[in-house]
Amino acid sequence: MSQMRFNLINTSFPVELLVEVIQRIPFDSTVVLKLALVHSRFHELLVNYQTSIAKNFALRNLPHACQDFPCDENSITYAWLARCIQQYDVVDDVMAVLLSDMNCYAVEKHNMAVVNTGLLLLYRLCSIDDQNDKIAFIKSLPQDPLTAIFLSVDYATRTARYHGKGTINQNTYGRFLDANRLELRNDVEFCFSEGIMNLGPEFISDSLLNADESETTLMCLYHDHTIHDWDTANVDVGDFMPPVTQGPAQNPVTRRRSLYTTLLERLAELIDCPPSEVVSRIIHDIEVPDHSLAWLDLRGKERLVQGLDLEYVDGN
């Protein structure tokens, strides 16, 4: 064993073979740091061959990572790989809740793959820093990828209505909804959807599994997007009482464009229907187990993540 350790760190041991040995070690978020501390030669190889080692790790352990989280060759790093693993873990956690038999609005099996793909597309949206670029990205997408995004947002929002914590939960409004309570629920759920579009699957995971931080974010979105002039002074205690938020109201002229509204408007344009009918149209269409995005396979998922419709010609 000691002779083997000596050979690996000896400069006479071929670099290519040592890189091959490193690439066969199971990857986790700490393996690179631990290897770098073993010997200076390991540290040097990990730095100089980062792209090839990280790419090989991905191909061996996460064969679809480069398609699910597209990036250029120079961006394939250990940090990128660790981020892919973390994002896959979040998607798995969210899907477990959305598919649970305990979920009142569980994802049907024929829609499981397209909702999963929608979560991956949300990560792609969240990887864009500038808000205007995010809006441009949404407007550039065709119907199928946008439908996948919408379904992941819609299933998550409806699941949070019954199983989330805080204001998003149905218990906030009670079993019987008058006009005020229905409007409040619609406003809160709109803001929840906006939070998903801006923050991605992490916001869904926090809302369904953690809740503390997500509630603060939801109330900030509520303050920015849906403040109403409720006549709370004349409401009896225990009766209708909307959330109370503080802070300066945003100027409607300079307020950031809503990503969720942009999504609905773009879908309305593609489906050729009024924005107010988009939700009901899509929900109706995806109920049947043979709709166009049902039982999505890996090839279909790859095309949607690339921002393409399922229908294609000449292999493009």
Question: For 40-54, what is each residue's pLDDT tens digit?
Answer: 888 888 889 898 888
pLDDT of residue 1: 43
- Report if residue 133 sits inside a domain: yes
- 193 and 260 share a domain? yes
Contacts of 288 (CB under 8 A, 6+ apart): 294
How much is the average pLDDT of 269-280? 95
Q: Which two tokens stand for residue 309?
A: 């419709």
| Domain assignment of residue 66, yes or no | no
* Joined tokens for residue 151: 């379904």
For the chain, give the mean pLDDT.
87
| 39 lies in the same domain as 175 | no
Question: What gap in Å lies between CA 269 and CA 313, rounded to an integer?
Answer: 23
Domain endpoint, select from 44, 61, 78? 61
One domain, residues 159 and 95: yes
- Percent of the chain exceeding pLDDT 70 equals 88
Whether residue 46 is found in the same domain as residue 105: no
Count other C-beta atoms under 10 Å from residue 187's C-beta. Answer: 18
- My answer on whether 54 and 92 are in the same domain is no
Closest CA to 240 of 250, 249, 228: 228
For residue 169, give the amino acid letter.
N
* Cβ–Cβ under 8 Å, residues 197 and 259: yes
Is residue 166 in some structural domain? yes
Higher-pLDDT residue of 176 and 167 is: 167
pLDDT tens by residue, 87-111: 999 999 999 999 999 999 999 999 9
Q: Where are the alpha helices (DSSP H) in 200-258?
A: 201-205, 212-225
State which amino acid sits at residue 148: A
- Tell me if 188 is assigned to some domain: yes
Per-residue pLDDT, 255? 63
Check residue 23 and give its pLDDT: 82
| Within-domain flag for 235 | no
For residues 100 and 209, membership in a common domain is answered with: yes
CB-based contacts of 209, cutoff 8 Å, min separation 6? 93, 97
Query: What is the pLDDT, as a whole number, of residue 230?
Result: 65
Contacts of 217 by beta carbon, 8 Å cutoff, 6+ apart: 195, 199, 203
223 lies in a domain? yes
Q: Are residues 56 and 111 in the same domain?
A: no
What would the pLDDT profile of 139-163 be if each residue is shown by its tens digit? 999 999 999 999 999 999 999 999 8
Residue 126 has pLDDT above 80, yes or no: yes
User: Do 215 and 292 belong to one domain?
Assistant: yes
In a domain, 287, yes or no: yes
- Residue 57: pLDDT over 70: yes
- Is the pLDDT assigned to residue 314 strictly greater than 50? no
Evaluated on CA atoms 297, 299, 305, 309, the torsion sign reads: negative
The owner of tokens 């790419």 is: 55
Claim to verify: residue 46 and residue 142 sit in the same structural domain = no
Closest CA to 222 of 188, 260, 199, 269: 188
Say yes or no: 129 and 265 in one domain.
yes
Residues 94, 57 within the same domain: no
CA angle at 230 for the pair 279 and 213, rounded to the nearest 5°: 65
Q: Give the whole-angstrom CA distance, residue 185 versus residue 187.
A: 5
264 shares a domain with 164: yes
Domain C-terminal end among 61, 78, 102: 61
Residue numbers of the domain that contains 41:
11-61
Question: Residue 268: CA atoms inside 13 Å, Cβ hemisphere, count?
Answer: 14
pLDDT beyond 50 at 190: yes
Plot region of 205 (φ>0 → left; ψ -120 to 50 → alpha; else → beta): alpha
Q: Is the dihedral of CA 14, 20, 26, 27 positive or negative?
A: positive
Structural contact between residues 147 and 293, judged by C-beta atoms closer than 8 angstroms:
yes
In a domain, 94, yes or no: yes
For 5, the 3-state DSSP assignment is helix
Total domains, the chain: 2
Residue 47 corresponds to which tokens in the numbers above?
Answer: 């730095």
* Helix and strand numbers, DSSP H then E, in the chain: 16, 0
What is the pTM (predicted TM-score) of this model? Answer: 0.88
